[in-house]
Chain A
Amino acid sequence: MLKQTPLHAIHRAAGARMVDFGGWDMPVHYGSQIEEHHAVRRAAGMFDVSHMLAIDIEPREIAGGESGVRDFLRFALANNVDKLTVPGKALYSCLLRPDGGVLDDLIVYFLREDWFRLVVNAGTADKDLAWLGALVAERAPGLKLIPRRDLAMIAVQGPRARELVWAVLPEARAATESLKPFNAVLIGDHLIARTGYTGEDGFEIMLPAVGAVEFWQALVAAGVKACGLGARDTLRLEAGMNLYGQDMDEAVNPLESGLAWTVDMTSPRDFVGKTALTAAHPVRQLAALVLQDQGGILRSHQLVRTSHGDGEVTSGSYSPTLSRSIALARLPGGSAPGDIVQVEVRGKPLAARVVKPPFVRHGKSLID
C-alpha cells in the first residue's frame, strides 16, 4: 500500500498521473510536464513535497541555552552547523557514513538553540531516522528526534511565486519580504523558507497537514499552477542540483558527487566520515553534459566515453528551457568544461559537451 500525503485526494481529483515515488503515491504531472516546467520558469508553480520528512531535534528536558543539539549536528552532518548563526538560517548538507558514502542529502534549519529541523528525502526517511536514532543514543542521549508527519510541505517556485504566496497569506508578507535566500521564518504554525529545488525564487512552506488542502486550493485560485514531480526533476536538473539515489548514494562520497563545497573540512571539529574523506583521493567527478548531436535523449546509466576513461550518466533528460537534452554524469578526473565526450544512446555514440553547471538559473540559459 503506497503512502499518501495530505493533498493526495486533491491530486487525484485534478486528474494527475500518479507514480510510486519512494513508496508514496505522488503526482508526476497533471497533463503536461513541459507546461508545468515552463510555468515555474515563467510565472509560478507549486509542488506537494509532503512526502519529504521534517525531523525536529530537541533536548528531552527543557534546557535553554546550549542544549547539545548544535553540538550533536556538528558531528552528525558533513557541513558545519556553526555557519548557522541567525535563527531561521538554513544549510544544505550530506549525511555521511563513516566510510564517506552519502546516506542522504538534507536541509538543516536553525530555529532555536534547542530546536533544529532537518528535512530529508522520502525514500531515505526511515533509514535516516534509524541512523540518527543510533547516533543520538551513542553521542547525545539527552536529545530526542521528532518525526513531523503531522506537517505538509508545499514548494511554491517561480518569478511570481513570492507575490502569489503573499496574496494568499498577506499576514506573512511583512516578515518574508526581506527574507534572504536560504533563510526561513516561523509565522504562527507555518515555517516559510526561501529555498527550493528549481533554480527559481520562491518559498518552501511547512504547515500543519490539516490546513494543507485549503492552502493549496487558495494558491490554485491565486494563479499558481499545480506541478508534478516530473517537472520538479527537469527543473532541478537544469538548475544543476543533485538527486539522491541517482547522482549520489551510499556507494560514492560527496567529493566525487559535485558536493565538495558542502563538506566543511577546514574547521577542527570531527564529523562522521571526516577521516575517510581526509584520506580519499577522488578519481571521479560529477560533470554536466549538453547533447550536441541529434539522435536521442540522455538517460541514467548510459556509458560516457572520454579521453580520460569511461564514465556514466547519472541523471539525464530533456531540458524544456534549452530544447535539448542535458545530463549530469560521473566522469573520470581530468574531464573539463569544453571537452567533447561520446555517450552511448541506444547503441549509438552521440557527441556531448562538458559544461559548467547550472544549465539554467532564474529563467535564463547559462549555456551558449
Chain B
Amino acid sequence: MNVPAELKYTASHEWVRSESDGTISTGITDHAQQALGDLVFIELPAVGRALKAGEACAVVESVKAASDVYAPVAGVVLAVNDAVVAAPEKVNADAYGNWLYRLKPAAAADAAKLLDAAGYIAAVGES
C-alpha cells in the first residue's frame, strides 16, 4: 500500500501535510482513490468556510460512486485546488501530489494527533 511516512492520516482516508507556514494541505489517500476507481467529479468547500473536525466538506465522485471527504481537523479553508476540479483523474494518477484544499488549523497541535502511516495501514486493515 502506498502510504508515505511523512504524512498524517485519518481513518476516513484523508491525508494531511503540515506546511512550513503552519497551514495544512489535505487530500484523499491512494487507497481511497483505488477503491473509488476513475474519478469524474470533485466538489470542494468555499474558501473562507470554517470547518469542524470530521465535518463532510467535499465530495469525490467516481464512475461508480459518490463519497464524502471529511475535514481532518478544525480550521478555515484557505485555498482549493481548481486543477483537480477541472481534471479529477489527476487524483487517480497521484493522490498525494494533488491536494484538494488547504486549511488554517484552529489549533496548531491538532494535525500532530492524527494517525501516522503505520496507524493508517492498521486502520485500513481493520475496515
Which residues does chain B contribute within 8 Å of A17, judged by CB atoms?
34, 37
Contact assessment for A32 and B38 in the assembled complex, using a CB-CB cutoff below 8 Å: yes
Beyond A230-B63, A230-B64, A317-B63, is A29–B37 a contact (Cβ under 8 Å)? yes
Judged by a CB distance under 8 angstroms, whether B122 is at the interface is no
Beyond A295-B43, A296-B59, A296-B61, is A34–B66 a contact (Cβ under 8 Å)? no
Which residues does chain A contribute within 8 Å of B64, judged by CB atoms?
28, 33, 230, 317
Which residues does chain A contribute within 8 Å of B38, judged by CB atoms?
32-34
Contact assessment for A296 and B41 in the assembled complex, using a CB-CB cutoff below 8 Å: yes
Contact assessment for A346 and B59 in the assembled complex, using a CB-CB cutoff below 8 Å: yes
Question: CA–CA, A28 to B43, complex, Å?
Answer: 25
Size bracket, chain A contacts: 10 to 19
Q: Considering residues B37, B43, B59, which has the most beta carbons from chain A within 10 angstroms of its beta carbon?
A: B37
Which residues does chain B contribute within 8 Å of A28, judged by CB atoms?
37, 64
Question: CA–CA, A32 to B37, complex, Å?
Answer: 7
Which residues does chain B contribute within 8 Å of A297, judged by CB atoms?
40-41, 61, 66
Question: CA–CA, A325 to B62, complex, Å?
Answer: 11
Contact assessment for A296 and B66 in the assembled complex, using a CB-CB cutoff below 8 Å: yes
Contact assessment for B59 and A318 in the assembled complex, using a CB-CB cutoff below 8 Å: no
Question: CA–CA, A234 to B38, complex, Å?
Answer: 12
Contact assessment for A346 and B66 in the assembled complex, using a CB-CB cutoff below 8 Å: yes
Judged by a CB distance under 8 angstroms, whether A299 is at the interface is yes
Which residues does chain B contribute within 8 Å of A230, judged by CB atoms?
37, 63-64
Which residues does chain B contribute within 8 Å of A346, judged by CB atoms?
59, 66
Question: CA–CA, A190 to B61, complex, Å?
Answer: 41
Annotate A323-343 by CB proximity to B: 1 below 8 A, 0 otherwise.
Answer: 001000000000000000000
Chain B residue nearest to A234 (CB atoms) is: B63
How close is B41's CB to chain A, nearest CB, in angstroms? 5
Question: CA–CA, A32 to B62, complex, Å?
Answer: 11
Annotate A276-299 by CB proximity to B: 1 below 8 A, 0 otherwise.
Answer: 000000000000000000011101
Chain B residue nearest to A228 (CB atoms) is: B37
Cross-chain pairs A/B with CB under 8 angstroms, 30 sampled? A28-B37, A28-B64, A29-B37, A32-B92, A33-B37, A33-B63, A33-B64, A34-B38, A34-B40, A34-B63, A34-B89, A230-B37, A230-B63, A230-B64, A296-B41, A296-B43, A296-B59, A296-B61, A296-B66, A297-B40, A297-B41, A297-B66, A299-B66, A317-B63, A317-B64, A318-B40, A318-B41, A318-B61, A318-B63, A346-B59
B-binding residues in A (CB < 8 A): 17, 28-29, 32-34, 230, 234, 295-297, 299, 317-318, 320, 325, 346
Q: Which 8 A-B pairs have the closest CB atoms?
A: A318-B40, A34-B38, A297-B61, A318-B63, A33-B38, A33-B63, A297-B41, A33-B37
